[in-house]
Structure 1
Amino acid sequence: MATNAGTWAYRDRFHESFGRTYFRRFGDGLASSIGIGTYLGDPTDDVDEQYHESIVRGLEHGINVVDTAINYRCQRSERVVGRALDDADVDREEVVVATKGGFIPFDGERPDDPGRYVREEFVESDIAPRDALVRGNHCIHPGFLDDQLDRSLENLGLDTIDLYYVHNPEAQLAERSREAVYDQLEAAFERLEERAAEGDIERYGVATWNCFRVPRGADSYLSLPEVVSRARDAADAAGNAATHFRAIQLPFNVVMADAFTVEAHETPEGDKSALQFANDAELDVFTSASIAQGELAESLPEEVAARLQGDTTAQRAINFARSAPGVTCSLVGAKSVTHVEENVAAGTFDPLGADAFDAVFE
């Protein structure tokens, strides 16, 4: 797993090449503020090789965060991450590896009959109980997450995963009440607390799309303070002295800034945005869609671009995302070595300071 000594040694090799605050605290260690995502692309051997080359290049040139999920590209993304970790000239202890469980994964390719595959592989085996499955593709039942975590460890070739996310828990709201989803999360968290105590994961969190950045009362809304409270209860139930719930992932970019602007989370000090609450609660924040899956590589609002450093539009978009208060790392999908090199170079520029970032929204 990533360690204090390993990540600091990684930083010492690379930090002089980068701008201010490129490496940021992650637990007792450090994480690069730009990470590699592995969501996009078809489940093919050619895309596997593109990702392998890109991840190796990133790891060897200053990016020590790799994010994936078991369902990405039919488990191929996890497997290529594992292969890249073996092949890159870095130590395992230097790299933060994150993955996710929640969506039913195919195995290597999309089956001809997806419904039959899900039924035979997961429902009839009771890995994903029928009454815990939503829309035929999402489950956060503790037994299912157990199974998925075991498969992820095997796919990645790791003994310990640094950060394990419950993937898009708001998907459960399609068929359940908000209170029922909180109860589900607490049960899932208790199992993850147990797996953390066993050493299979170092920490866990939730990776989301909508739930923390929409207004209170929206159909897809979940309260981040309530989720944190449920994690603390889960830690108590598992007999752990403190919760291992330490991170969230959510979209954040120039055109999706809701996590900063929407004050949807009720606290004794007043309503807070997701980023503000996470910062106050000392949660690590990993931003997804940092360049809006490539859309912001083409253009940015002129008034925003003028405030940002970078040689390319994509670099300026990345630097906006990692300028937000409390952000540990901004993830950028990269299955091209050219794109990885461009993303790494974004880190040679300083992000916006707090006052300059706030001024964007005035």
Structure 2
Amino acid sequence: MILGNATAEGTKAYMESFADLQHCELGRTGLLVSQAGFGCYRVDVSVEEHRMALRKALQCGVNLIDTSANYGDGGSEELVGAVLEEMIAAGEAGREQVVVVSKAGYLQGQNYLLSQERKREGRPFPDLVSYGPGLEHCIHPVFLADQLTRSLARLRMERLDVYLLHNPEYYLMAAKQENVPPETARAEYERRLELAFRHLEREVEQGRIGCYGISSNTFPARRDDVTFTSLEDVLALAEKVSAAHHFRVIQLPMNLVETGGMTEANQAGGKSVLELAVENELGVLINRPLNAIVGGRLVRLADGDAVPVDVASVQTQVERLAEAERSLKEKLLAAVLEDDQEREEAADKLSAGRLLQEHWRSFSSAEHWREVQGQFLVPTVQTGIRKLLESGKLTTAAAEWVEAYVDGVNGVLPEVTAYYQWKGAEQVRAITSRAEAAAADWAGAGRASHLALRALRSTQGVSSVLVGMRRAAYVEDVIAELKETVAIKPRRAEWEALS
């Protein structure tokens, strides 16, 4: 069990030991934090590379860790607990130096199974939001108490520094789907938030958390968006619960494309959510700093290869694959597989060309394409080829077909990958050009990832930018940028120039 919590003295001493790095106050918590935090969205206790990356981050000056109960189905919190326990035991870190943030709200994986079991037992979690297959959401005190207990156990801690409601706007999203009148939905949303805040104040009193807040993707939304989470309304609820409330931290997405955190005047007096947070001395954590949504597609704000790709050549290769698949189905399969269903299944597996004909230029990003390729397309083709080879009746013509088809697939897949790298790099180059023109002290960042981080960390009100540092090399890249001194100021004009 890791005893204690982050303290003002401990975090100050930690940051003073890294004099070459800038740091920020986490609102009025009294805690000092690194300008970049270790984002745990895609890390897991089972991956040694992730363990090494977190250790390196803590050794190099990163003292804020952001995780959640649903990251890695609990494996992310387990990683944080394991690494911190090891480092504290070895005298390499002190609990008082490290700010640990976790979140609750999602029911997926283990939590979803727990929810179904409770339903069968006749004691479902109250105020449960059923959003989709395998996905529910809840911020009721009964659920929050259960989740905090589980999170602390996985983290091996007696106390969390910051506990956030994780995207509570899922209730508003579900209400929108169900055509609940906006005024009714808004009133119910505030009722649920107030219940949650009252419970979290009790958790502060009991010493299980230091403070609380909300992580919401809709803090930067337009005011007339029915899923909008209003910071001024949230603060009014916190004041209603207690004049001495412990609502101290918010988290929201913001990057060089999605600028709403600073540019969307969705608070009273024409203020943005970030400006209102500054006015109320809230800690602000920024997520998705390197993953921007551009026209409904994900763009990774990092340097990439911008070598143009011959689209017509790729299309020709795709057409050849599709023609080969038609030839297999119409002429060759009957001699290899006797059963009609087996032939149909084999043809279905060997349909990469047909699928690419429909979709190869419509994936949302290079990352999306890589996921489809690695998790579906390649395994499916391999299964189909294996089916033919194991039939024991492979004709000479079919064997020649297999060899040519495999060559065709292996030839076209890298070309599609290159296409998405090219398009992504072009988009990033346009985005970074606008950013470099917006602020003179942003222009010297050099790399796209550094520029994206610099723009955020130099903006008044941003306490820490959460970066997915899953590899030691990523940690080194972030630290290199943090060593560059940059002025912290409001910068609304700069962000408006980007939008």
Fold conserved (TM > 0.5)?
yes
Q: Are the equivalent residues in 1 in contact too, given 2:105–2:137 (CA < 8 A)?
A: yes
Q: Which moved more, 1:343-352 or 1:302-311?
A: 302-311
Residue 130 of structure 2: which of 134, 142, 151 is its match?
134
Q: Answer whether contact 2:262 2:272 (CA < 8 A) is retained.
A: yes
Unaligned runs of 5+ in 2: 176-184, 293-298, 304-427
Shift of 1:232: 1.8
Work out which of the residue numbers 97, 112, 116 in structure 1 matches 2:100. Answer: 97
What is the identity, as a one-letter code, of the residue corresponding to 2:34? S
Q: Does 1:187 align with 2:212?
A: no
* Aligned-residue offset at 1:117: 5.5
Pairing of 1:326-345 with structure 2 (within 5 A) = 326-345=461-480
Give the SS at the match of 2:9.
helix
1:213 aligns with 2:220: yes
Instruction: Write out aligned runs for 1:201-280 (5 A).
Output: 201-209=209-217, 211-235=218-242, 242-266=244-268, 270-280=269-279
Counterparts of 1:125 and 1:100 in 2: how far apart (Å)?
26
The aligned counterpart of 2:116 is: 119
Per-residue CA deviation, residues 132-170 of structure 1 (Å, 9 max, x unaligned), is: 233141111110001001111111011110000001011
Q: Is the 8 A contact 1:323 1:357 kept in 2?
A: no
Q: What is the rounded CA distance, in whole Å, between the counterparts of 2:114 and 2:200 in structure 1? A: 26
CA contact (8 A) 1:315 1:346 kept: yes
> Which among 279, 300, 307 is matched to residue 295 of structure 1?
300
Partner of 1:361: helix, strand, or coil?
A: helix
The alignment partner of 1:287 has SS state of strand
2:451 partner amino acid: R
Alignment match of 1:10 (pick from 3, 9, 14): 14
Structure 1 residues without counterparts, runs of 5 or longer: 108-113, 236-240
Q: Is this contact kept in 2: 1:264–1:271, CA < 8 A?
A: yes
Report the equivalent of 1:200.
208
Mean alpha-carbon deviation: is it higher for 313-322 or for 199-208?
Answer: 313-322
Deviates more, 1:171-180 or 1:244-253: 171-180
Give the Cα separation in 2 of the matches to 1:91 and 1:333: 23
Structure 2 CA distance for aligned equivalents of residues 225 and 304 of structure 1:
29
- Alignment CA distance shift 1:164-1:122 (3 Å): farther
Deviation string 1:304-346 (CA, Å, 9 cap, x unpaired) is 1364143422112111111222111111011111001111111
Aligned to 1:304: 435
Letter in 1 for 2:166: H
Residues 140 and 184, structure 1, Cα contact 8 Å, conserved in 2: yes
Determine if the alignment matches structure 1 residue 57 to structure 2 residue 62. no
Provide the rounded CA distance (Å) in 1 between the counterparts of 2:143 and 2:187. Answer: 20
Deviations 1:61-114 (A, max 9, x none): 10000000000011000000111112231101000000000001424xxxxxx9
Answer yes or no: is the 8 Å Cα contact 1:231–1:245 preserved in 2.
yes
TM-score of the aligned structures, taking structure 2 as reference length? 0.64
- Aligned pair partner of 1:316 in 441, 447, 451: 451
Match of 1:22 in 2: 23
Q: Are residues 206 and 116 of structure 1, via their aligned partners in 2, closer, same or farther at CA, if it must alter by over 3 Å?
A: closer
d(CA) in 2 for partners of 1:95 and 1:44? 19
Deviations along 1:26-57, one digit per CA (max 9) or x if unpaired, are 5222111110101126x6823xx222111110
In 1, Cα distance between equivalents of 2:149 and 2:436: 44
State the 1:279 CA deviation. Answer: 0.7
Per mean C-alpha deviation after superposition, the further-off stretch among 92-101 and 299-308 is 299-308
Contact kept in structure 2, 1:127 and 1:147, CA below 8 Å: no
CA distance in 1, matches of 2:486, 2:227: 31
Cα 1:360–1:275, aligned 2, differ >3 Å: closer, same or farther? closer
Shift of 1:357: 6.2
Aligned-partner residue type, residue 120 of structure 1:
E
Distance 2:130 2:86 in 1: 38
Rounded Cα–Cα distance in structure 2 between residues aligned with 1:330 and 1:69: 16
Pairs aligned (count): 340
CA distance in 1, matches of 2:483, 2:436: 17
In structure 2, the CA distance between the partners of 1:119 and 1:296, relative to structure 1 (3 Å rule), is: same
The 1:105/1:310 distance shift into structure 2, 3 A limit, reads same
The aligned amino acid for 1:263 is: A
Flag the structure with higher helix content: 2
Match of 1:111 in 2: none
CA contact (8 A) 1:57 1:340 kept: yes
Consecutive aligned runs of 4 or more in structure 1 exceeding 4 Å deviation: 114-117
CA distance in 2, matches of 1:122, 1:161: 29
Match of 2:434, SS state, is: helix
What is the rounded CA distance, in whole Å, between the counterparts of 2:112 and 2:272 in structure 1?
Answer: 39
Write the letter of the residue equivalent to 1:133: V
CA RMSD of aligned residues (A): 2.1
Q: 1:85 to 1:73 in 2, by over 3 A?
A: same
TM-score (norm 1): 0.88
CA distance in structure 2 between the aligned counterparts of 1:117 and 1:358, rounded to whole angstroms: 48
CA deviation string 1:159-197 (max 9, x = no partner): 110000001011111334011011100000100000001
Give the drift of 1:285: 0.5
Deviation at 1:25, TM superposition (A): 4.7
Identity, in percent, stands at 32
